[in-house]
Each structure stands twice: as structure tokens, then as C-alpha cells.
Amino acid sequence: MHQGEKMVVVSGSNAGTMAGQLAETLGWAHHPLETRRFPDTEGYIRIPSETIEALRSEPVVLVSNTFPDSGIVETLLMLDAIQDVRNGRLQNLREIGPQTLPEVGKGVILAIPYFGYSRQDKRFKPGESISARAIAEMLATRCDAMVLFDLHAPAVLEAMPIPVAFTSAMPELANHLKETVDPDFILSPDKGAIERASSVAHQIGCEFSYLEKTRIDAHTIVHKAKNLDVSGKSVAIVDDMIATGGTICRAAEALRGQGAIEVHAACSHGLFTGGAIARLLRYVDGVHATGSLPNARDVISGGPALARGVYEVMDTLGLKP
Ligand code: R5P
């Protein structure tokens, strides 16, 4: 590294908050890339001239979401442009600057705070796309490693052709809940969130249980009644994501029905679709999320979790921070 230069975190239009938090945690520089939309909605990206040398001098982390769909294209375009810069392919029609430079080595890490399509992780009927795998494999052709933040079901990406780190903000979420809510009880709203939620309960040192959920459709959820020892207690429901809020509202109803006096909802990914926050606030006393997606309940930094993932893949690639 040149004297005084810092390693670089870059971002496009959809994950600037988490990129800033990661850069702050690592003590690296954060360079936002130029992103625009053409009138027909197609995207345009460009690496600013002042960022080009920084991208060539050290490993780089691109923080970008594959959500909404435009995020997939933007992520691919940014990775492609970063690879061209690192491989010294700078030819341009206006002949601005050097046209070619020597290649620099491996070191493009893609960190995805919210991996869109993560929920289609299996082929439920013949002929379906395993969307999570399809998108990850496409992105893996343009980077040297990936960091996935609180991925819904990591198993689908366990055989990727490049190193992948699965990282989680549950330690930071537990600290936040302990400091602000100090819950007596943590509830996982379904079996899928047991591991995440129980790690939070363990860190806080409080009781834990889970519900059995059956999803009838996107808006209809049935929770199997279960006796929970929550009478007079403050409970936090912990999930990986909140979309419509239906899962949390039904779980909160079950908790209130069994005497919980305070109920909070906490997640990594606050999608909050279609008025979800207003709906949630009819059932819970507080909603807590990270900023993996821009949302009004972003109170937990995802920087430390992303940094753990970046260090893990750098170590696997033999790169020194
Ligand atoms: C499902 O398995 C996920 O972990 C979440 O529980 C679910 O996606 C939340 O969706 P919603 O807020 O629409 O109920």
C-alpha cells in the first residue's frame, strides 16, 4: 500500500449506510461510486477518476444489495467495472488518462447486506429456478469472495466456486436489545429462526422458546398454540427479516394472549412492505432493525458483522488487511 493510503470500501445506490458502517469499523476509506438512471430506467455506473488508483492499490470491498431487482444489475455492472480497473483495462473513446495499466492481483470482495431472492432457496416444484443459487453464481463470476450478511438459509450457497463468509449481526442485535429493552424472554417466531434467536437469548442470558408457524399465503400465517412462560414478562421476537409483518403480529398476539406485558420485534432485514411498520406498532412496543436495507427502524450497526466476514474471506484468500 502506498504511504497514507487506506484500503477501500465502495458502494453504489442501495447500500451506502452499511458501506459507511463497514468502512468506519475497519478504518478504511469509503468511496461511493457514481450511479444514475437513464430515462428508460436502465442503470449507469462509473468509478470516479479519484477512486481508480485507490481500487488498484489494495483489496477492495464492494457493498451492494441484490434487492430490488435493479440492485442485481447494478452490482454486476460495478463488479465488472472494478475488475476492468484492477486488470488495467482503461481504454475509453475520449482517451482520458492511461489506456492500459498492469494487472493487480486478486482482491475483489463483494459484501451483500441484503441478498434478494434468498427465500427461493429450493426447487419446490419441477421447473422452478433455485433463484438464490442462480444469482449468487452469476455474481461469483465477477468477484474473488463474497460476504453474506444474515442470509436467510446459508445451505443453498455452501458449494460456491469462491470463498463465502456467512456473517451475522445477532451479537450486535443482542447488545442493542440488552441495552434498550432488557428482555426477560426471546421468542423465535418459527423453526427457521431458532438458531439466530437462541444465540441472542444465550448472549443476553434470558429464557428462549419458539413457535411453529404455518404460512398459508403471503398474508396468512397460523401459529400453533404453545404454552409459553411469558406472563408478566418483557419479550423480544427475533427473526432474520420482517416483510409484511404478519409473522411478528401473529406471534405478538400469541404472546399477549399468554400474559406478556411488553413485546418487541427485532430483525436484521427490515423490508417493511406495504405499511408494515404501522401494522406492527398495533401489536408491539418497539421495532428494531439494522440498515441492511434503508428503513425507518435502522438502530443496529451492521458494520462489525460485515467486518468479521471481510476478515474471514481475506484470510482464506491469503490477503493481509
Ligand atoms: C421466513 O421464514 C422469514 O424468516 C420471515 O419470518 C418472514 O419472511 C417474515 O415475513 P412476514 O413479515 O411477511 O411475515
DSSP letter, residue 282: T
292: left (phi over 0), alpha (psi -120 to 50) or beta: alpha
Percentage of the chain exceeding pLDDT 70: 98
Average pLDDT, the chain: 94
pLDDT bucket at 269, cuts 50 / 70 / 90: very high
pLDDT bucket at 218, cuts 50 / 70 / 90: confident
Residues 178 and 160 in one domain: no
Residues 244 and 135 in one domain: no
Whether 6 has a pLDDT exceeding 90, the answer reads no
Which of 87, 88, 85, 71 shows the shortest CA–CA distance to 35?
71
Residues 19 and 105 in one domain: yes
Residues 59 and 163 in one domain: yes
Provide mean pLDDT across the span 74-92. Answer: 97
Residues 102 and 216 in one domain: no
From residue 55, alpha-carbon distances to 8, 52, 163 in Å are 7, 5, 21
Which of 254, 130, 286 shows the shortest CA–CA distance to 190?
254
> Domains in the chain: how many in total?
2
Range of the domain at 278: 170-300
**Domain CATH for 179:** 3.40.50.2020
The verdict on the CB of residue 268 being under 6 Å from ligand 1 is no
Q: How far is CA 223 from the centre of its chain?
A: 27
Q: pLDDT (tens digit, 9 = 90+) per residue, 175-212?
A: 999 999 999 999 999 988 999 999 999 999 999 999 88
Residues 250 and 104 in one domain: no
Distance 196 CA to ligand 1 centre (A): 14
Residues 92 and 112 in one domain: yes
Residues 95 and 220 in one domain: no
From residue 242, alpha-carbon distances to 48, 120, 273 in Å are 36, 16, 8
DSSP letter, residue 292: S
CA-CA distance, 169 to 240, in Å (whole number)? 10
Count of beta carbons in the 10 Å neighbourhood of residue 221: 20
Residues 124 and 18 in one domain: yes
- Contacts for 308 with CB less than 8 Å, ≥ 6 apart: 165, 167
The answer to whether residue 320 is catalytic is no
What is the model's pTM? Answer: 0.94
207: left (phi over 0), alpha (psi -120 to 50) or beta: beta
The verdict on the CB of residue 193 being under 6 Å from ligand 1 is yes
Residues 156 and 256 in one domain: no
Provide mean pLDDT across the span 77-97. Answer: 97
Residues 54 and 179 in one domain: no
Question: For residues 152, 155, 158 and 159, what is the CA-based torsion angle, rounded to 10 degrees?
Answer: -120
Distance 243 CA to ligand 1 centre (A): 6
Whether 2 has a pLDDT exceeding 50, the answer reads no
Residues 158 and 28 in one domain: yes
The verdict on the CB of residue 238 being under 6 Å from ligand 1 is no
pLDDT bucket at 144, cuts 50 / 70 / 90: very high
